[in-house]
Amino acid sequence: MKGILATLVASLATTVAAATGPFLTAVDNQTWIIGNEVWNMTQGPTYGVKLYYKDHDCVGDAVGHYVSYNGAANNLAWTSASIVKTSSYNNVPYIDVLFTAAEGDMHWVIFSGQHGAYQYFVNHALPTLGEFRTLWRLDNTTFPNGRTVTKDGVLPPLSEYLPQNKVQDETWLTPDGKGYITKYDWTSWSRPQDFFGVYGDEFGSWYINPGKDYYNGNHAKQELMVHRESASGDAVQLNMIHGTHFMVSSADVFPDGKMWGPWLWYLNDGSKPDAAAQAKTEFASWPYPWLDDEAYHSRGSVSGKLVLSDGRPASNAAVFLGDVLPSSKTALDMGSTYYYTTYADASGSFSIPDVREGSYGLQAWSNGSSIRDVSTTFALASLSVTKDQATDLGSLTWTVSSKKKLFQVGDFDHYSYGFKNGGAPWQHALVAQCPENLVYKVGCSKTEDWCMGQTYKGNWTIRFWNGQEPDAIKEPTLIVSLAGYSSGASSTIWANGVAVGNLTSGATGKTATDGLASDPSLYRSATAAGEWRYFEFGFGASVLKKGVNEVTFQMTRNTTWHGFMWDSIILEW
């Protein structure tokens, strides 16, 4: 038996070595080898191993390639493999290799001479889920570094992950006790990503995801992309095509046929300029013309112009094309089908090309800049996109508040930008640098004098001047916009010593924060956003007075690294 197996392995090795184009070779009914003249990989029932590139095994003792959902709880098991298409594009031959699992189909499109392969997944029976991913776990000596659009450097060595120094989920004190090691510092924004991966002096493995319409969430979607596997030391290249790492939840039901991808998995000699050039080529080529799928190519466009009801253009507004409205999900939580993001220009005009045919809802909100004071959200309940047709929405009126603002702290943009440490590179425990007590004087203090998050027991007070006598007809409204919230903290809101609300147990309607759901932003290294929340707290005009007034956020309950990440605070009447 051993002799037969050895003969088979030797025969396969000869076949692989002699490859002159893309191929699929069956070892047995649970093992296959795929590749081309440049690389090859042995695919087992779950894991892809023995990734040979330039005569080097890039996986080594690491786990290799696999597809999983709900974290690592469910790895897809491949039951068969076949070539479902053999063709050529621009005179370059390619094959489409299909690996089947109970949940759906994983495709590897391999071109002759290509350094890597295109990949895409088609759903057939995935359950309701939050996380769905493909990934490589590669040899840590071959790939010691990681790169995203926001971070580039050496992955922490496994020797620094000391068990006695673990402080929480995937987070450790450094051996000297002066800092932290956590995989979440390697998070980045999903939609602006050009290319990301792991690399060394001789080898690089990259993901290039043009299009991104298969991602869940909106502009604020952020995900873990590379890291050191703390149990084994593997270099991890994580393709979170449906993720929840910084969200309250995202329990989505997917229609049969939902497609994630294609994206390019790209191999090179570790050169970032080369990966950047390849990314530029891929983005210019999307949607990929070689993909034989009618629904994929059934696309139109959406355009329009947003004008505020006070006559101003909605300059640089964030525009999101998502599920038909109303929806029980936030824009960040949406993820069942396909989603598109853009920003309006200075005149409020926007255009979204290559939108898949279907029905959508459109939302827009302030991205700061000249409309930083706009606290309302524009919503168009439904619009239709038809293949090869331009959907021109024309001029869209966005209703904004006509009330007088007594003060505003921070730009209204759904992020903590402008505050101290707001939008700093992902870094664990940065919120701990914010003070227990703080006084912000409207007209004197600067935006950066307010800190990005409140996590200690204490009082944060906004002191402001009101030059008018209270008017019983003009009831004040306190708008509190949170860029994120991590549970374990409670805050009572006071206006001149009168309790007017609570940020974890409010009253009803827009003031209701009872059971405020947690997102992991503050304790998972985020500094700009988690999941955005909006609240209004109305109170009697007699609470205010002519002269100096105060609004105070009193933290009455706290948990380390948990609390409130600020976006903007507005008082108007």
Residue 487, number of CB atoms within 10 A of its CB: 18
Q: What is the DSSP string of 195-219?
A: -EEEE-SS-EEEEE--S-TTS-S-T
pLDDT digits (tens, 9 = 90+) for 443-501: 999 999 999 999 999 999 999 999 988 877 689 999 999 999 999 999 999 999 999 99
Residues 382 and 449 in one domain: no
Asked if residue 479 lies in contact with residue 536, where contact means CB atoms within 8 angstroms, the answer is yes
pLDDT digits (tens, 9 = 90+) for 56-68: 999 999 999 999 9
pLDDT digits (tens, 9 = 90+) for 12-46: 555 565 678 999 999 999 999 999 999 999 999 99
Q: Reduced to 3 states, what is the DSSP secondary structure of residue 185? A: helix
Mean pLDDT within 408-426: 98
Instruction: Tell me the CATH number at 334.
Output: 2.60.40.10
How many whole angstroms separate alpha carbon 238 and alpha carbon 137?
Answer: 8
Residues 223 and 280 in one domain: yes
- pLDDT at residue 180, as a whole number: 98
Q: Is the dihedral of CA 452, 456, 457, 458 positive or negative?
A: negative
Does the predicted model carry a pTM greater than 0.75?
yes
Asked if residue 291 lies in contact with residue 214, where contact means CB atoms within 8 angstroms, the answer is no
| H and E: helices and strands count for the chain | 3, 41
Residues 387 and 536 in one domain: no
pLDDT digits (tens, 9 = 90+) for 242-273: 999 999 987 899 999 999 999 999 999 999 99
Asked if residue 541 lies in contact with residue 447, where contact means CB atoms within 8 angstroms, the answer is no
Residues 303 and 235 in one domain: no
Kindly give the pairing relationship between strand 340-343 and strand 196-199.
Answer: unpaired
Domain range holding 75?
A: 2-294
Residues 385 and 491 in one domain: no
- pLDDT at residue 2, as a whole number: 39
Domain end marker among 347, 375, 398: 398
Closest CA to 258 of 228, 293, 287: 293
Residues 564 and 446 in one domain: yes
Closest CA to 145 of 222, 209, 197: 197
Has residue 366 got a pLDDT over 90? yes
Residues 387 and 425 in one domain: no
HEC-encoded secondary structure of 102-135: CCEEEEEEEECCCCEEEEEEEECCCCCECCEEEE
The total of structural domains in the chain comes to: 3
Instruction: Tell me the CATH number at 27.
Output: 2.70.98.10
* Residue 6: pLDDT band with limits 50, 70, 90: very low
Mean pLDDT within 184-203: 98
- Lowest mean pLDDT, pick from 7-11, 73-77, 91-95: 7-11
Asked if residue 110 lies in contact with residue 38, where contact means CB atoms within 8 angstroms, the answer is no
Asked if residue 96 lies in contact with residue 69, where contact means CB atoms within 8 angstroms, the answer is no
How many whole angstroms separate alpha carbon 112 and alpha carbon 90?
Answer: 11
Residues 240 and 197 in one domain: yes
